[in-house]
């Protein structure tokens, strides 16, 4: 449990607290008080750290707790997927059924997943380098599957952000209108 459940749970807990702090700061009428501005800024920083860099927190915790490869990969990807799930939940009042399923391809959701995959691969290599024994040459830091995760995550990001992301967004909207209107 401490190898697989606890690391992503820590990141998801921090994410939930950050979202609550951000929402409370916004409810205080942002811009009118220093407290509201501070809460919004702290909440936004916490959300950025947990959503976009959550794999750098949960994966090393799982790695150094002795988790297996599948557990480490899941621990790195789960925080990003949890945020995508939160986005799907909040948009479920607007979209339903297949439209909601299609929302997974929304640029922010797709990029959150791609960044989680890429960061998990990077974290695996860094953790392997840190944990490597100096006189044991058989320890491989650059594992092929970790490199593949970096390549796949980077490729998805590069394709979805090409041209400032506008090309992918228009493709997303065009497919949406052809499917659901």
DSSP string, 143-159: -HHHHHHHHHHHHHHHH
Q: Which residues 6+ apart lie within 8 Å of 137 measured at CB?
A: none
pLDDT tens-digit profile, the chain (181 residues): 788 899 999 999 999 999 999 998 888 876 677 888 899 999 999 999 999 999 999 999 999 998 999 999 999 999 999 999 999 998 888 888 888 889 888 999 999 999 999 999 999 999 998 887 766 665 677 899 999 999 999 999 999 998 888 899 999 999 999 998 8
Cβ atoms of residues 55 and 119 within 8 Å: yes
Query: Is the whole-model pTM more than 0.75?
Result: yes
Cβ atoms of residues 77 and 90 within 8 Å: no
Cβ atoms of residues 31 and 60 within 8 Å: no
């Amino acid at each position: 449990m401490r190898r697989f459940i606890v690391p992503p749970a820590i990141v998801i807990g921090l994410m939930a607290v950050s979202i609550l702090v951000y929402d409370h700061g916004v409810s205080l009428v942002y811009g009118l008080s220093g407290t509201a501005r501070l809460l919004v800024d702290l909440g936004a920083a916490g959300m950025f750290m947990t959503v976009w860099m959550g794999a750098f927190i949960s994966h090393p915790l799982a790695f150094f707790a002795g988790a297996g490869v599948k557990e480490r990969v899941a621990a790195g990807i789960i925080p990003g997927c949890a945020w995508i799930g939160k986005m799907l939940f909040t948009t479920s009042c607007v979209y339903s059924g297949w439209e909601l399923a299609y929302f997974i391809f929304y640029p922010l959701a797709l990029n959150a997943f791609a960044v989680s995959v890429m960061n998990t691969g990077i974290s695996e290599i860094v953790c392997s380098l840190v944990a490597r024994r100096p006189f044991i040459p058989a320890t491989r830091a650059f594992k092929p599957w970790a490199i593949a995760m970096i390549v796949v995550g980077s490729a998805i990001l590069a394709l979805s952000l090409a041209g400032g992301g506008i090309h992918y967004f228009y493709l997303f909207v065009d497919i949406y209108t052809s499917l659901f209107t």
